[in-house]
Structure 1
Amino acid sequence: MKSTRPVAVITGAARGIGKGCALELARGGFNLLINDLPDADSVEKLHITQQECIAEGVEVICFPADVGDLSLHEEMLDAAQNLWGRLDCLLNNAGISVKKRGDLLDLEPDSFDQNIAINTRAPFFLAQAFSKRLLAQPKPEAELPHRSIISSVPSTPSCWR
């Protein structure tokens, strides 16, 4: 089905900034594919976001998945593009902080690697996949906003001791 409405894909849409963006885009008339982690709590919150957006008169599909799993990016974009026939906006909002807050000097490599995988690698490769599809559309016009807020709580500054 070809949609006359613009279509947005939003990661990290179950709560916070992602949910707020989903609601604003729904109010603006966008059909949405919203994504968050596949755990029970996130899926429940994602479905609440879905219902609130549907109440704005748009179509919304949920795609629970960890964006760090690059093998799911194409499947996620397919879900939106196959349903609505277009892609117009990618909002890479999903993000994490380190596993254990504290002194930067105590940061473990696995926590650092997970942070890079979710906050840098995943949005880059999702934007790359989105952009390839966008350029293949008859009239490629889109927005690819990236957020950079990781946390409102800073790490303990060990250099200030």
Structure 2
Amino acid sequence: MSRKEDDRSRCAGRPARRPQAEAILQGSGASPPPKNDRQITHWSWISFNLPNGDAMAIWDAVSPTAGSYAWATVMRRDGTHLVAEVEPFVQGANEMWTSPESGNTYLTRWEVSIPALDAALSVDVTGNRHQEIVIHGDGRYEATAAFSGTYQGENVSGKSYVEMFGDWQ
């Protein structure tokens, strides 16, 4: 990597070196759904840029045949990567919004628990609740959000982004 590329990586908040190929699995359900499970009816994704430099994304994919798969991936500043189990999003939901256009119901405020990372985060959609995109009758919720809580035992807060597909009712 050239010095110029190295400087750009640091400015963008990314590790200055290539990530390690090794992933550390934490928790019994820390895996995405099997590739052959084509019956996922709804899923969500939330991104976090944490104050310590970690970049975390969490997913929850729900299949009527296999249940819920909820996991987090974390890219640390040193380039290491890990995957950890997340409690399904709907368990911590305490506010929802129903779209008048698609009829879908989306989570808009919830508590996210990631025991292996000592993380408990409150996530709240910010601004207008109507942040849905409807294409050919299918709704997708693309929303800005804010988070606060604890991560690795430290108080954290910041801005986030939420994407949801399907009806969460």
Verify same fold: TM over 0.5: no
Structure with a larger share of its residues in strand: 2
Structure with a larger share of its residues in helix: 1
Relative contact order (C-alpha < 8 Å, sep 6+): which is higher? 1
| TM-score of the two chains, using structure 2 as the length reference | 0.29
| TM-score of the two chains, using structure 1 as the length reference | 0.30
